[in-house]
Chains A and B, each alone.
Chain A
Amino acid sequence: MDMNQYLDIFVEESREHLQSLNSSLLELEKDPADKGVLNEIFRVAHTLKGMSGTMGFTRMQRLTHHMEDVLDALRNDRISANSDMVDILFKCLDALENYVNTIVSTGDEGNEENKGIVDALADILKKGGLPTKSAKSSGRKAKSKPSDEKESKEVEVAQAEAEAAAGSEIGLVELNQYDINVIRKALEAGMNVFQIHVEFDKGCLLKSARAFIVFQILEKNSEIIKSVPKVEDIEDEKFDFEFTVVVVTSNDQELFEREINSVAEIAGVHILPVTAEMIGVSAEEIQETAEKTGGASRPEAEGVAAQTAQETIKKAQKAGKTVRVDIDRLDVLMNLVSELIIIKNGLDNQINAKDSNAWSESIEYLERVTTNLHDAVMKVRMVPVEAVFNRFPRMIRDIARELDKDIELKMSGEETELDRTVIDEIGDPLIHILRNSADHGIETREERKRLNKPPVGSIYLRAYQDGNNVVIEVEDDGRGIDVGKVRKKILEKGLETPDIVETLSEKEVIDYLFKPNFSTADKITDLSGRGVGLDVVKTKIEALGGTVEVETRMGYGSKFIIRLPLTLAIIQALLVKIGSEKYALPLSSIREIDNIKFSDVKMVRNREVIMLRDMVIPLVRLNEVLEVKDAIPDEKKKYLTVVIVKKGDKLSAFSVDSLIGQQEIVIKSLGKIMQGIKCIAGATILGDGNVALIVDSNSIAV
Chain B
Amino acid sequence: MAKALGKERRQYVVFQIDQQEFGVDIHKVSIIEKYMNITRVPTTPAYIKGVVNLRGEIIPVMDLRIKFGLPSKEPDDDTRIIMLKFNDIALGVIVDSVAEVVDFTEEELESVTSITNDRTLDYVVGIGRIGQRLITVLNIEKLITELTERE
Using a CB–CB distance below 8 Å, which chain A residues touch chain B? 581, 625-628, 668-680, 683, 685, 689-693
Q: Is B89 an interface residue (CB 8 A)?
A: yes
Let me know if B53 and A693 touch, CB within 8 A. no
> Which residues on the A side are within 8 Å of B48 (C-beta)?
673-674
12 contacts between A and B (CB under 8 A): A581-B39, A670-B41, A672-B89, A672-B148, A674-B44, A674-B48, A674-B60, A677-B41, A677-B42, A683-B39, A693-B39, A693-B51
Using a CB–CB distance below 8 Å, which chain B residues touch chain A? 37, 39-44, 48, 50-53, 56-60, 89-91, 144, 147-148, 150-151
Let me know if A692 and B39 touch, CB within 8 A. yes
Q: Which residue of B lies closest to A629 (CB)?
A: B40
Let me know if A670 and B60 touch, CB within 8 A. yes
A669 to B44, CA, bound (A): 16
Let me know if A680 and B53 touch, CB within 8 A. no
Q: Of the candidates A625, A626, A691, which one forms a contact with B53 in the assembled complex, judged by CB atoms under 8 Å apart?
A: A691
> Which residues on the A side are within 8 Å of B51 (C-beta)?
670, 674, 683, 691, 693
Q: Which residue of A lies closest to B151 (CB)?
A: A676
Let me know if B53 and A689 touch, CB within 8 A. yes
* CB within 8 Å for A627 and B43 given contacts A670-B51, A675-B151, A691-B53: yes
Let me know if A673 and B43 touch, CB within 8 A. no
Q: Of the candidates B40, B43, B89, which one forms a contact with A671 in the assembled complex, judged by CB atoms under 8 Å apart?
A: B89
A558 to B132, CA, bound (A): 77
Query: Would you give the shortest CB distance from B131 to chain A, in whole angstroms?
Result: 37
Query: Would you give the shortest CB distance from B127 to chain A, in whole angstroms?
Result: 27
A103 to B150, CA, bound (A): 38
> Which residues on the A side are within 8 Å of B60 (C-beta)?
670-671, 673-674
Q: Give the number of residue pairs across the A-B interface with Cβ within 8 Å.
A: 68
A628 to B89, CA, bound (A): 27
A627 to B41, CA, bound (A): 9
Let me know if A671 and B90 touch, CB within 8 A. yes
Beyond the given A675-B151, A677-B41, please list 10 additional residue pairs across the A-B interface where CB-CB is below 8 A. Answer: A626-B42, A628-B42, A668-B56, A673-B148, A676-B151, A677-B44, A679-B42, A691-B51, A691-B53, A693-B41
> Which residues on the A side are within 8 Å of B41 (C-beta)?
670, 674, 677, 680, 693
Let me know if A671 and B59 touch, CB within 8 A. yes
> Which residues on the A side are within 8 Å of B44 (C-beta)?
674, 677
Query: Would you give the shortest CB distance from B33 to chain A, in whole angstroms?
Result: 13
Query: Would you give the shortest CB distance from B84 to chain A, in whole angstroms?
Result: 11
* CB within 8 Å for A677 and B43 given contacts A685-B53, A690-B37: yes
Q: Which residue of B lies closest to A625 (CB)?
A: B42
> Which residues on the B side are within 8 Å of A669 (C-beta)?
58
A625 to B40, CA, bound (A): 13
Let me know if B91 and A673 touch, CB within 8 A. yes
In this complex, which of B37, B57, B58, B59 has the most chain A Cβ atoms within 10 angstroms of its Cβ?
B58
Let me know if B53 and A690 touch, CB within 8 A. yes
Query: Would you give the shortest CB distance from A665 to chain B, in whole angstroms?
Result: 13
A689 to B89, CA, bound (A): 22
A670 to B59, CA, bound (A): 7
Q: Which residue of B lies closest to A695 (CB)?
A: B42
A685 to B57, CA, bound (A): 9
> Which residues on the B side are within 8 Å of A693 (C-beta)?
39, 41-42, 51
> Which residues on the A side are within 8 Å of B150 (C-beta)?
673
Let me know if A691 and B52 touch, CB within 8 A. yes
> Which residues on the B side are within 8 Å of A675 (C-beta)?
151
A668 to B52, CA, bound (A): 12
Q: Which residue of B lies closest to A692 (CB)?
A: B39
In this complex, which of A581, A674, A678, A680 has the most chain B Cβ atoms within 10 angstroms of its Cβ?
A674
Q: Which residue of B lies closest to A669 (CB)?
A: B58
Q: Which residue of A lies closest to B50 (CB)?
A: A691
A692 to B48, CA, bound (A): 16
Let me know if B89 and A683 touch, CB within 8 A. no
> Which residues on the A side are within 8 Å of B43 (C-beta)?
627, 677-679
* CB within 8 Å for A581 and B40 given contacts A670-B60, A691-B52, A691-B58: yes
A586 to B56, CA, bound (A): 20
Q: Which residue of A lies closest to B57 (CB)?
A: A668
> Which residues on the A side are within 8 Å of B91 (C-beta)?
673
A700 to B56, CA, bound (A): 27
Query: Would you give the shortest CB distance from A683 to chain B, in whole angstroms?
Result: 5
Q: Which residue of A lies closest to B89 (CB)?
A: A672
Query: Would you give the shortest CB distance from B133 to chain A, in whole angstroms?
Result: 32
> Which residues on the B side are within 8 Å of A625 (C-beta)?
42
> Which residues on the A side are within 8 Å of B57 (C-beta)?
668
A683 to B39, CA, bound (A): 10
> Which residues on the B side are within 8 Å of A692 (C-beta)?
39
A693 to B50, CA, bound (A): 10
A683 to B144, CA, bound (A): 21
Query: Would you give the shortest CB distance from B72 to chain A, in whole angstroms?
Result: 15
A581 to B38, CA, bound (A): 11
> Which residues on the A side are within 8 Å of B53 (C-beta)?
685, 689-691
Q: Of the candidates A676, A677, A679, A691, which one forms a contact with B39 in the assembled complex, judged by CB atoms under 8 Å apart?
A: A691
> Which residues on the B side are within 8 Å of A685 (C-beta)?
53, 56, 58
A679 to B56, CA, bound (A): 22
Let me know if A673 and B89 touch, CB within 8 A. yes
> Which residues on the B side are within 8 Å of A676 (C-beta)?
151
A680 to B40, CA, bound (A): 12
Let me know if A683 and B58 touch, CB within 8 A. yes
A626 to B39, CA, bound (A): 12
Let me know if A680 and B58 touch, CB within 8 A. no
A166 to B53, CA, bound (A): 63
Let me know if A673 and B58 touch, CB within 8 A. no
Query: Would you give the shortest CB distance from A239 to chain B, in whole angstroms?
Result: 53
A626 to B44, CA, bound (A): 10
Query: Would you give the shortest CB distance from B81 to chain A, in whole angstroms?
Result: 14
> Which residues on the A side are within 8 Å of B37 (C-beta)?
689-690
Q: Which residue of A lies closest to B90 (CB)?
A: A671
A185 to B151, CA, bound (A): 49
Let me know if A670 and B58 touch, CB within 8 A. yes
A626 to B144, CA, bound (A): 25
8 cross-chain pairs, A with B, having the tightest CB-CB distances, nearest first: A691-B39, A676-B151, A626-B42, A627-B42, A673-B147, A673-B60, A683-B58, A668-B58
> Which residues on the A side are within 8 Å of B42 (C-beta)?
625-628, 677, 679-680, 693
Query: Would you give the shortest CB distance from B52 to chain A, in whole angstroms?
Result: 7
Query: Would you give the shortest CB distance from B125 to chain A, in whole angstroms?
Result: 21
> Which residues on the B side are within 8 Å of A690 (C-beta)?
37, 39, 53
Query: Would you give the shortest CB distance from B59 to chain A, in whole angstroms?
Result: 7
> Which residues on the B side are within 8 Å of A679 (C-beta)?
42-43
Q: Which residue of B lies closest to A691 (CB)?
A: B39
A679 to B42, CA, bound (A): 8
Query: Would you give the shortest CB distance from B128 to chain A, in whole angstroms?
Result: 28
> Which residues on the B side are within 8 Å of A678 (C-beta)?
43
In this complex, which of B51, B59, B151 has the most chain A Cβ atoms within 10 angstroms of its Cβ?
B51
Q: Which residue of A lies closest to B148 (CB)?
A: A672
> Which residues on the B side are within 8 Å of A689 (C-beta)?
37, 53
> Which residues on the B side are within 8 Å of A670 (C-beta)?
41, 51, 58, 60
Q: Which residue of B lies closest to A682 (CB)?
A: B58
A679 to B40, CA, bound (A): 13
In this complex, which of B41, B59, B89, B151 has the most chain A Cβ atoms within 10 angstroms of its Cβ?
B41
> Which residues on the A side are within 8 Å of B148 (C-beta)?
672-673
A675 to B89, CA, bound (A): 12
